Structure 1
């Protein structure tokens, strides 16, 4: 006999409870089982792991995680995550807020390449903040330049630009920064 959908249950066999987004960050010494420990804690409290960004840097493993959880279970998950500090894992739980709409502007991709030097991120992020541009995600790295072996800074950011912003003025300011710091800065429509 075929299974039929029951109005008492929704997807994933969860009852109709109000789910809320729940975001936390973590950092700890890189070791096997760290992600499993976090995911088990989320699962033990009925949470659903939705999105995450994680990376190892200088022997530390850090990340940001978004889960969905029933409102009546959120406090228990918060307590359990914060208790992981006893296991040398720092966790910070964000205050609960309504999710912000992501359609409040144009999505653009910003890429930066040039010889590494102090101040690149500061100068570019200052120009963006002055224009009320939100950085949605950003990856940076320093590698060796192919020919010279000199340190090469590379960054890719996805930004949210207000519809009313004059893009030619933004490009002019980014060109000034590129000239002053000997960089290549490209701004283009994002496919995200």
Structure 2
């Protein structure tokens, strides 16, 4: 049901409780819209959602009109924005990056800076902390999806990234995304 002309991006957050996803997705379906992409997570007792919804013009308008009352009913702060698909100026190759290290402030910023300096877009990013299996030391994991310009020299980029990670004491992988 993808609608390439226009869609609605919804951002919502609130106290995590059972039924939030069901309540919100029911209203989306009742409006005649389709969830195209979404990310949802419970973080520190809070619920956060980012979603792109498609539908006919009137279905999207119906949903837009309903969202303020839905947010109030479900206890969610909701932001909604119409959007259109973007096209990359250059073809992009999707790559996956995984990084693991002892937890310390600044890891994500340092990685983001490395890729921003090279004009490489971070398309998705997930992080987590966990205790190391044998020592219990606090560990930090980052999983990224990158959009690398097709004209980039991948072998050089990969080597530079892995050298950077060695200098920062980060364990990393840098691989093409598999379908």
Structure-2-length-normalised TM-score: 0.86
Q: Which residue of 1 aligns with 2:51?
A: 65
Displacement, 1:169?
Answer: 4.1
- For the pair 1:40 / 2:26, whether they are aligned, the reply is yes
Which consecutive unaligned segments of at least 5 residues does structure 2 have?
Answer: none
Displacement, 1:86?
Answer: 2.3
Which of 1 and 2 has greater Rg? 1
Q: 4+ residue stretches of structure 1 with deviation over 6 A?
A: none
Q: Which residue of 1 aligns with 2:40?
A: 54
Q: 1:171 aligns with which of 152, 158, 168?
A: 158
Which consecutive unaligned segments of at least 5 residues does structure 1 have?
Answer: 1-10, 12-16
Structure-1-length-normalised TM-score: 0.81
- For the pair 1:156 / 2:143, whether they are aligned, the reply is yes
Q: Which secondary structure state, in structure 1, belongs to the residue aligned with residue 6 of structure 2?
A: strand
Counting matched residue pairs gives 177
The answer as to whether partners of 2:97 and 2:172 remain within 8 angstroms in 1 is: yes
Matches of 1:135 and 1:92, distance apart in 2: 23
Matches of 1:83 and 1:53, distance apart in 2: 22
Displacement, 1:134?
Answer: 1.7
Q: 1:100 to 1:38 in 2, by over 3 A?
A: farther
Matches of 1:40 and 1:181, distance apart in 2: 46
Q: 1:128 aligns with which of 105, 115, 118?
A: 115
- For the pair 1:30 / 2:1, whether they are aligned, the reply is no
Matches of 1:148 and 1:65, distance apart in 2: 38
Q: 1:97 to 1:20 in 2, by over 3 A?
A: closer
Matches of 1:173 and 1:135, distance apart in 2: 17
Q: Which residue of 1 aligns with 2:92?
A: 105
Greater displacement, 85-94 / 124-133: 85-94
The answer as to whether partners of 2:165 and 2:172 remain within 8 angstroms in 1 is: yes
CA RMSD, Structure 1 to Structure 2 (Å): 2.5
Displacement, 1:27?
Answer: 0.9
Higher relative contact order (CA 8 A, sep 6+): 2
